[in-house]
Amino acid sequence: MDTANPLDYLNTQILHWEENPENETLRQQQLQAFHSPRLYEFLAWQYQELAPSGILSVAGRPFPAALIELPSSLRSSPDSLLGQLRQVRQQALPDTFHQTSEYYLNALKSQLPAMWDGETYCLSSLQADEPLQLHCRTGTYFKALKTCDILEFELLTQFGKRMPDAAEFGAFSEELSLRQMLHKNGNPLLGDCGREAAIGISLAIFFRKGNDYHALLRTCTARNAYSPRLFHSVPSLMMQPVSADHQGEYSILHNIFREYLEEVFDHPEIEHLSEASAPKAFYQHPDMEYLQQLLARGDAQLELSGMAVDLFKLRPEICAVLIIDTPEWIENHLSEKNELSRPADLTFPASQSKITPSTIESRIFAVQLGKNGNLPADILLPDHFSPPGAAALFLGLRTLQQRL
């Protein structure tokens, strides 16, 4: 292949990656891009004018997340954000896009043979004016990998190869062949533009322990070649049906509650159980009944905090926040005197300083917040967090701080 052509070069890198998953040259190239502040400056440059509410920025640092503010009327009624569930595709992508994305999916399958293709809810269109509505359709996880996650691989590979400075951003954007194909179909922050943009949900949980609030976070490893450990909110999930009742499971709250059990308490994944034929059976689990009691009596509040779009993958994310105002929640879940589950692999770091993804050994950890709901300095950094996790944590902290 002629590697002078950006798309040919990308195809070559994907095929080499499939042959050699431990490709050190590619890994270093992508890592260099991932840790470069210029990468985040480039994404802010490219999407600032397309983002309805601007680009996430913390302490002057841009993050790879476009923000979409929600009216207060939607925040307290999460499922009212959802519009029609329909099977409408507005545009198609060229054959060259699908050829490259097929190479990418084959490479992932060879490295992750247990990976499976579940159904998802994906973006059809976002109606940004009043009333704001997120219209969706059903899709599949593999199609999301082929039309969204491939964009991250392309971005990191091409940026790491060239490492452009600000003066070169315009020319460099033309080298992102797959991303350019999407942009020609419209604003990918508001419409599918031909891709299968599977919708994620990230929940930021803040709970009281004694007199202090803590943020519940987790560590995760990305599947791409650079594979750094990252922080994320917990739970984070794909919005998806696990049964044939697509309309019945078309609910933000239902998906959050299901994943709350799976990720926070290590409850077995419902899609692998016979319960999939009764997708709401988990509401009878003691941990879920307890949470519902806290919500009903006002000791906990669950609401939307906003929306974001991961600018690496161009995947939309619904951000929500669960604020647990009573220390009873963590005390009861850590106690062995009742039937409630203990949070899976939960730790409380002894030191609140210099918390990085490499210094946390447990899967889930709790960070103590300051009296004003502030995080410890230098934990919320662009290359420490997954983009949707950073957005959910930032928007959730803003909600908590307003309450405090």
Residue 77 lies in a domain: no
Q: What range does the domain containing 210 cover?
A: 200-403
Same domain, 148 and 292: no
Of the residues 131, 151, 183, the one at which a domain ends: 183
Domain co-membership, 166 together with 219? no
| CA distances in angstroms from 251 to 48, 69, 85, 179, 280, listed in the order given | 30, 20, 11, 30, 12
- Residue 361, pLDDT score: 85
Is residue 261 assigned to a domain? yes
Distance between CA atoms of residues 199 and 236, nearest Å:
11
- CATH number (domain holding residue 324): 3.90.79
Tell me, yes or no, whether 89 and 170 share the same domain: yes
Predicted local distance difference test score (pLDDT) of residue 104: 97
Query: Within 13 Å and on the Cβ side, how many CA atoms surround 24?
Result: 0
- Residues comprising the chain, all counted: 404
Residue 178: inside a domain, yes or no? yes
* Same domain? 208 vs 89: no
Q: What is the pLDDT of residue 270?
A: 61
Last residue of a domain, one of 183, 209, 228: 183
Are 382 and 357 within one domain? yes
Q: Are residues 220 and 168 in the same domain?
A: no
Same domain, 224 and 178: no
Cα separation, 320 vs 343, in Å, equals: 20
The secondary structure of residue 302, as a DSSP letter, is E
| Predicted confidence (pLDDT) per residue in 230-275, tens digit | 999 999 999 999 888 899 999 999 999 999 999 999 888 665 555 5
218 & 325 share domain = yes
In a domain, 62, yes or no: no
Region of 193 on the Ramachandran plot (φ > 0 left; ψ -120 to 50 alpha; else beta): left
Residue 350 binned pLDDT confidence (cut-offs 50, 70, 90): confident
pLDDT at 274: 52
Residue 195 covered by a domain:
no
Summarize pLDDT for 165-179 with one digit per residue, the tens. Answer: 999 999 999 999 999
Whole-angstrom CA distances from 256 to 135, 268, 288, 349, 352 are 19, 15, 11, 26, 28
pLDDT category, 42, cuts 50, 70, 90? very high
Which position has the token pair 């410890």?
A: 376
Beta carbons within 10 angstroms of residue 238's beta carbon: 18
Mark which of 183, 213, 236 sits at the end of a domain: 183
Q: Which residues of 153-191 are buried (b: 16+ CB within 10 A; e: fewer)?
A: bbbbbbbbbeebeeeeeeebbebbbbbebbbebbbbbbb
Q: How many domains is the chain built from?
A: 2
CB under 8 Å to 292, separation ≥6 — which residues? 283
Whether 275 and 389 map to the same domain: the answer is yes
Strands (E), 98-211: 119-127, 133-140, 200-209
- Please state which of the ranges 4-8, 152-156, 323-327, 376-380 shows the lowest mean pLDDT: 376-380
Q: Do both 124 and 28 map to the same domain? A: yes
Tell me: do 240 and 331 sit in the same domain: yes
164 with 298, same domain: the answer is no
The DSSP secondary-structure symbol of 167 reads: G
**pLDDT for 1:** 37
